[in-house]
Amino acid sequence: MAQPNYLESLPLFSCLSEADRQELARHAIQIPIHKGQYIFREGDPADWFHFVQQGNVKCVKSSTEGRDVTLKVLMPGDLFCCEASALAGESHPGCAQAMGEGSVIKIHRKVMLDIIQRNPEAAVNIINYLSLRLRESQDNAKAFALDRAEQRLASILVNLAQRAGIAETTGIRLSVRLTHQDLADMAGLTKETTSRILSRFKKSGIIAGSAKQLMIPDLQRLHKMAPRAATV
């Protein structure tokens, strides 16, 4: 069972009454996750809505060569059920994999739909959330078609800094650990190209550290290189 105060902290549920949050909490299941663990796989029935409670989860898709490609990194509070599929009762179009130790909350789609039907404001929140995710997908498609490799990677780093950055005296440290392959997949680049760009960024002082422990000394300088980075 999830704690009602955790559900209250999620923007999707902030409009719910205490009684409805208590009901969701009674039906919510808390699951510990471990590095490399698949929370669900492509083709599994999308019967549950999932939220990251602690740690990080990545959305992955199998390539034609049979390799898992990282599409998105999810932070605590993020919904990651391929939510349109869950609402429609379809199967998952991709996989969700834990990037380290943590926990997720899952709520059955029937429980969610019952709550949404009784709460028009919650339905509007879901629609707004889906619209945001659609806009992100459209922006990514534009970036792949129009932006140079350096711009794509800069946009990803800026967005990660805004969502998972920790301010320190030397700059912004990314709390999520990513490999060069993860960043390459998210930018639609090869690992070799990504490594070369990161090396140039490091020599120019735009970033510091390694891919698994990245520091961004000057976020504004990086932002100027990222035409499609979101502002939060």
Domain boundaries, the chain: 4-143, 148-224
Phi, psi dihedrals of residue 147, rounded to the nearest 5°: -90, 150
> Nearest Cα to 185, choosing from 73, 105, 110?
73
**Contact assessment for residue 21 and residue 13, using Cβ atoms and an 8 Å cutoff:** yes
What CA–CA distances, in Å, run from 167 to 6, 179, 180? 25, 21, 23
Tens-binned pLDDT, residue by residue, of the chain (232 aa): 555 566 767 777 777 888 888 888 888 999 999 999 999 998 898 889 899 999 999 998 877 777 777 888 998 888 886 666 666 667 888 899 999 999 999 999 888 888 888 888 887 887 787 777 777 777 766 766 667 899 989 999 998 998 889 999 989 999 888 889 889 988 888 999 999 999 999 999 999 987 678 999 989 888 888 876 654 4
Helix (H, G, I), strand (E, B) or coil at 228: coil
| CA–centroid distance for 92 within its chain | 16
Superfamily of domain 4-143 in CATH is Jelly Rolls (2.60.120.10)
pLDDT for 5 equals: 62
* Residue closest to 80 by CA, chosen among 53, 59, 55: 59
pLDDT value at residue 77: 85
Say if domain 148-224 classifies as CATH 1.10.10.10: yes
List all residues 6 or more positions away from 8 whose beta carbon is below 8 Å from its beta carbon. 14, 16, 21
Specify the pLDDT at position 230.
Answer: 53
pLDDT of residue 147: 79
The answer to whether domain 4-143 and domain 148-224 are alike in fold is no
